[in-house]
């Protein structure tokens, strides 16, 4: 029985590989005008088998798949290849008012060699301080019952031109994963963090008095100035434990998403160019990037629904 199943699996894989090759040959011939004979020789494909596949009677499902592939490619190019099959499926279902299965979209993307960008590993930087250190009240409870209940914040380093450094400070709301405030600056200092938290408080003036703000133990967050902002606005402060980056995992996850979907794809020649692109991405992330955990809504759509 196991041998029969193994043979069936090999047959399916062989069929998929052949279909991938045939699709590639057809696209290169139609779009680049490369000769069929040359493409078959390079790919070690039997020309008669290719023509047999090409001239077969197309089924309704195959015809629908061709249309789907056009939509998939258009969306993939629109977002610079940052979407994987799950997010591609969500966007297609919304646009076409359908309920396509992720497995089907995944298979179609495999046929034409489309996949999301590979996330790069992040080098962690720990700078613990003993001044004004708070307990880890958040305790990895990365969910919130309503907006402005739990915020997480952090700073990341970005480079432009010939190795010049910029620093991005941001605050993420754990209710909807939206970025409620961010600042990009030339210096990694207290003022960058102060502007970020003050901006978030101004834009969310009706926040809960029990609002929790979680960060790592960086010197900005353990400073007397940050402590005064926390006390003045009746906030509850929480901090990650030393060497436990996962304690602020949602913020670290956002940095990884931003970098792999935008920052790593470009070379910035100036601070203004970097700043413009970061603003553009965060707007896209908040308003247009659909998330499965929110039933296919973007963070702002999910937030607006809650407030309404």
Is the pLDDT confidence value at 126 over 50? no
3-state secondary structure of 209: coil
CB–CB of 285/258 below 8 Å?
A: yes
Asked if residues 180 and 172 have their Cβ atoms less than 8 Å apart, the reply is yes
- pLDDT of the residue at 4: 52
Query: How far is 238 from 215, CA to CA, in rounded Å?
Result: 7
pLDDT band (50, 70, 90) for residue 16:
low
CB atoms within 10 A of CB 268: 19
Choose the most confident range, by mean pLDDT, from 69-78, 120-129, 206-215, 265-274: 265-274
Contacting residues for 167 by C-beta, under 8 A, at least 6 apart = 155, 156, 157, 158, 184, 185, 186, 187, 188, 192
**283-303 pLDDT tens trace:** 999 999 999 989 999 999 999
Taking only the tens place, the pLDDT of each residue in 234-248 is 999 999 998 888 999
| Residue that wins the pLDDT comparison between 114 and 99 | 99
Q: Note the Cα 208 to chain centre separation in Å.
A: 29
Q: Which uninterrupted H or E stretch holds 75?
A: helix 60-78
Of residues 153 and 111, more confidently modeled: 153
Burial zone of 62 (CB within 10 Å; 0-12 exposed, 13-18 middle, 19+ buried): exposed
Percentage of the chain beyond pLDDT 70 is: 88
Interval 190-219: pLDDT, tens = 999 999 999 999 988 766 668 999 999 999
- Answer yes or no: is pLDDT of 123 > 60: no
Give the bridge partners for 239, in sequence order: 215
Predicted local confidence at residue 125, as pLDDT: 45
pTM for the complete prediction? 0.69
């Amino acid at each position: 029985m196991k041998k029969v199943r193994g043979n069936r699996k090999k047959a399916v894989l062989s069929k998929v590989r052949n279909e991938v090759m045939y699709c590639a040959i057809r696209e290169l011939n139609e779009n680049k005008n490369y000769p069929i004979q040359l493409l078959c020789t390079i790919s070690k494909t039997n020309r008669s088998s290719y023509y047999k596949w090409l001239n077969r009677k197309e089924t309704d499902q195959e015809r629908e798949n061709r249309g789907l592939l056009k939509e998939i490619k258009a969306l993939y190019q629109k977002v610079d290849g940052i979407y994987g099959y799950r997010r591609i499926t969500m966007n297609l279902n919304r646009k076409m008012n359908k309920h396509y299965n992720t497995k089907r979209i995944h298979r179609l993307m495999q046929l034409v060699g489309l996949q999301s960008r590979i996330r790069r590993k992040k080098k962690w930087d720990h700078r613990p301080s003993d001044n004004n250190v708070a307990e880890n009240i958040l305790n990895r409870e990365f969910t919130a019952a309503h907006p402005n209940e739990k915020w997480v914040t952090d700073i990341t380093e970005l480079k432009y031109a010939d190795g010049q450094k910029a620093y991005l400070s941001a605050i993420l709301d754990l209710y909807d994963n939206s970025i409620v405030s961010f600042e990009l600056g030339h210096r990694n200092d207290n003022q960058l963090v102060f502007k970020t938290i003050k901006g978030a408080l101004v834009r969310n003036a009706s926040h809960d008095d029990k609002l929790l703000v979680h960060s790592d133990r960086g010197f900005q967050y353990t400073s007397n100035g940050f402590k005064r902002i926390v006390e003045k606005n009746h906030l509850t402060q929480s901090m990650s434990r030393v060497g436990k980056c996962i304690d602020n995992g949602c913020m670290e996850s956002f940095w990884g998403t931003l970098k792999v979907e935008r920052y790593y794809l470009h070379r910035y020649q100036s601070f203004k160019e970097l700043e413009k692109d970061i603003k553009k991405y965060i707007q896209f992330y908040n308003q247009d990037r659909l998330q499965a955990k929110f039933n296919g809504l973007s963070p702002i759509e999910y937030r607006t629904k809650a407030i309404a």
